[in-house]
């Protein structure tokens, strides 16, 4: 169960921005990681928004429903993530909650307009303490020596973090002391992993193969192709000629490449 609020009903303008790496920035990051042969680890932050202090001047108040479930004395068997002691603390906190009462939110909550921005700010604090510097679209790098190529890089998509580098495992160990981590997956050579909807295969230290195979499994591709055949001409699907190549992103590629090293 996840508790959230209908923040979309709040029409005031508040800071909601929290950038995520666009496709081109992430692919350039992956290219740099492959070139350097870095180790890769994928991390999912558990309940990321709830771990983000709300430091806005105007706070959000939440009215507790008049009817809320009773927390059982015995911890349910499926809640293996909590120890008996932790479950006892949860029950104590639950007993303090009064149905119908309004409480001030000290942390971000799913559904509040600024939740994503608050989480992004809190994550940046943790990364900066580790020596990471944000460069572009939620991508941060760490250098041992200024102006030298980056030794570590992290790309963040909301609460999913792609980490790679010489000390990436150590970096996530430290972040794990600050945030509750839901899962950690090493994308070792020869392994397959998923990240933000992509299937990632790592056949060797300098190669990544990306597909949307698992996403496409539930799609009737043949039916889609049939419709496309009716609406597209042979000219529409012909390879681009040299003069048709879109060079509008050339500056972005050069800028990102310079930032990474």
Q: Which residues of 42-60 are buried (b: 16+ CB within 10 A; e: fewer)?
A: bbebeebbbbbebeeeeeb
Domain that includes residue 177, residue range? 14-47+114-234
Q: Which residue has the higher pLDDT, 11 or 130?
A: 130
pLDDT at 227 over 80: no
Q: What is the mean pLDDT of the chain?
A: 82
pLDDT at 261 over 50: no
Question: Sheet containing 39-45: which strands, arranged edge to edge?
Answer: 133-136, 139-142, 152-157, 160-165, 39-45, 181-186
Highest mean pLDDT among 119-123, 217-221, 239-243: 119-123
Q: Closest by alpha carbon to 259, among 141, 162, 120, 155?
A: 141
CATH number of the domain to which 221 belongs: 3.30.70
Residue 107 tokens read as 């942390």
Total domains in the fold of the chain: 1
Tell me which H or E stretch contains 227: helix 221-231
3-state secondary structure of 56: coil
- Domain-located, residue 93: no
pLDDT at 23 over 90: no
Q: Which residue has the higher pLDDT, 109 or 240?
A: 109
pLDDT at 112 over 50: yes
- Domain-located, residue 205: yes
pLDDT at site 252: 57
Confidence of residue 259 (pLDDT cuts 50, 70, 90): very low
pLDDT at 100 over 60: yes
Cβ atoms < 10 Å from Cβ of 30: 20
- Domain-located, residue 118: yes
Q: Which residue has the higher pLDDT, 192 or 224?
A: 192
Q: Which residue has the higher pLDDT, 98 or 3?
A: 98
- Domain-located, residue 218: yes
Tell me which H or E stretch contains 118: helix 115-129
Confidence of residue 5 (pLDDT cuts 50, 70, 90): low
Phi (first) and psi of residue 257, to 5 degrees: -65, -40
Q: Which residue has the higher pLDDT, 80 or 13?
A: 80
Residue 94 tokens read as 């639950």
pLDDT tens-digit map of 39-61:
999 999 988 988 998 887 777 78
Mean pLDDT over residues 8-14, rounded?
64
- Domain-located, residue 260: no
Q: Which residues of 104-134 are buried (b: 16+ CB within 10 A; e: fewer)?
A: ebebbbebbbbbbbbbbbbbbebbeebebeb
- Domain-located, residue 104: no
Confidence of residue 207 (pLDDT cuts 50, 70, 90): very high
Residue 19 tokens read as 């950038």
Among 15-24, 69-78, 110-119, 247-256, the range scoring the smallest mean pLDDT is 247-256
Mean pLDDT over residues 118-138, rounded?
90
Q: Which residue has the higher pLDDT, 205 or 65?
A: 205
- Domain-located, residue 1: no
- Domain-located, residue 6: no
pLDDT at site 129: 94
Cβ atoms < 10 Å from Cβ of 146: 5
**pTM above threshold 0.75:** no
Q: Closest by alpha carbon to 178, among 112, 124, 138, 111?
A: 124
């Amino acid at each position: 169960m996840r508790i959230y609020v209908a923040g979309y009903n709040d029409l005031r303008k508040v800071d909601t921005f929290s950038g995520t790496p666009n496709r081109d920035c992430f692919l350039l990051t992956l290219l740099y990681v492959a070139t350097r042969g870095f180790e890769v680890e994928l991390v999912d932050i558990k309940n990321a928004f709830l771990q983000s202090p709300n430091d806005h001047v105007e706070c959000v108040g939440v009215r507790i429903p008049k009817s809320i479930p009773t927390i059982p004395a015995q911890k349910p068997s499926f809640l293996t993530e909590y120890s008996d002691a932790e479950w006892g603390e949860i029950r104590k906190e639950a007993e303090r909650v009064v149905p119908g009462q309004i409480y001030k939110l000290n942390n971000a909550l799913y559904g509040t307009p600024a939740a994503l921005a608050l989480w992004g700010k809190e994550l940046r604090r943790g990364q900066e303490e580790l020596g990471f510097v944000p460069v572009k679209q939620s991508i941060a790098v760490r250098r041992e020596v200024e102006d030298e190529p980056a030794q570590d890089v992290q790309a963040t998509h909301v609460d999913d973090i792609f980490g790679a580098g010489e000390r990436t495992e150590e970096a996530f160990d430290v972040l794990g002391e600050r945030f509750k981590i839901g899962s950690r997956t090493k994308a070792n050579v020869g392994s397959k992993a998923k990240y933000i909807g992509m299937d990632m295969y790592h056949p060797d230290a300098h190669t990544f193969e990306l597909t949307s195979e698992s996403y496409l499994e539930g799609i009737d591709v043949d039916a889609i192709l049939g419709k496309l055949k009716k609406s597209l001409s042979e000219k529409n699907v012909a390879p681009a000629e040299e003069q048709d190549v879109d060079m509008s992103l050339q500056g972005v590629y050069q800028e990102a490449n310079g930032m990474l090293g």
